[in-house]
Structure 1
């Protein structure tokens, strides 16, 4: 199913830190959801490329759950790592934590799963290394991933009318 190679989930861990400015926000002075999704997709892509060491494309994004607003002056940390792999696809767990710099208050504001596919030189799906979870949280994500994978496949089939 997988190439012989395996990689630890931590090897793909990617972190982006951003200060939120007025141009990043909407008329409610909270961060544009689309801008945040762009950051999440970029960080997830980097994590996928670190894992596969090849070109990748976004295949899907599971529900983005916006748990709390991000405001002007907040700092966000967008973190991603490969949580599970199939033959050529990789599930990437992405979380966004906001920090109020004056109080030091931190909270997770968004979580999501992105799926990326590794590509060969011809742009066709190519095998990716298996991922090895090490922490309890990584193991929990890994153990539940086959169920999420099956739901993604069903959702795709339902949309294609198969």
Structure 2
């Protein structure tokens, strides 16, 4: 499988933040932004793998600045690292006040996707390589993030087992 540069997977989406997209504070719903992030990150992952993908995890979505009604939101994503069947995708969202031109990074996130074959089984993906200093920084730190993901996933599985499927969990309440 041929190696591909991070830049080959770049995906960008820009949207106008309208009243139905906002909460009672006049700012973009966090869930709406999270949907944009997952959508654009998935496009970047498919663009890299040229196969269908599924979201395996979202490390965190850090809301750094509010996005106001009337702003635009530009979500950019690219594959930073690969491992057999999985891809780490970095996402950055930039809000722009369309009247003043002021721009600010409002959110960053890392997501992991797994490529799948026609039967839904994990499928191999090409190796990705960085070309810029910033891509190199993200690529170099990716194995540590991957290890943290594995540990977080183990903890999540333990909690799922302890809590099970019934509610309420505390039968004494």
The alignment's TM-score, normalised by the length of structure 2, stands at 0.90
2:60 alignment partner, SS class: coil
**Equivalence map 1:31-42=2 (5 Å):** 31-42=28-39
**Equivalence map 1:62-81=2 (5 Å):** 62-81=59-78
**1:133 lines up with 2:130 in the alignment:** yes
**Equivalence map 1:1-150=2 (5 Å):** 4-150=1-147
Alignment match, 2:169: none
List, as ranges, runs of 4+ consecutive aligned residues in structure 1 with deviation greater than 6 Å.
Answer: none
Measure the CA separation in 2 of the matches of 1:160 and 1:120.
25
2:47 alignment partner, SS class: helix
Structure 2, unaligned stretches of length 5 or more? Answer: 162-173
Q: Cα offset for 1:70? A: 0.3
The alignment covers a number of residue pairs equal to 159
Structure 1, unaligned stretches of length 5 or more? Answer: none
The alignment's TM-score, normalised by the length of structure 1, stands at 0.96
Query: For the pair shown, which has the larger CA radius of gyration, 1 or 2?
Result: 2
Q: Cα offset for 1:63? A: 1.0
Q: Deviations over 1:37-81 (max 9, x none)?
A: 001100000000000000100000011110000001001100000
Higher relative contact order (CA 8 A, sep 6+): 1
Alignment match, 1:151: 148
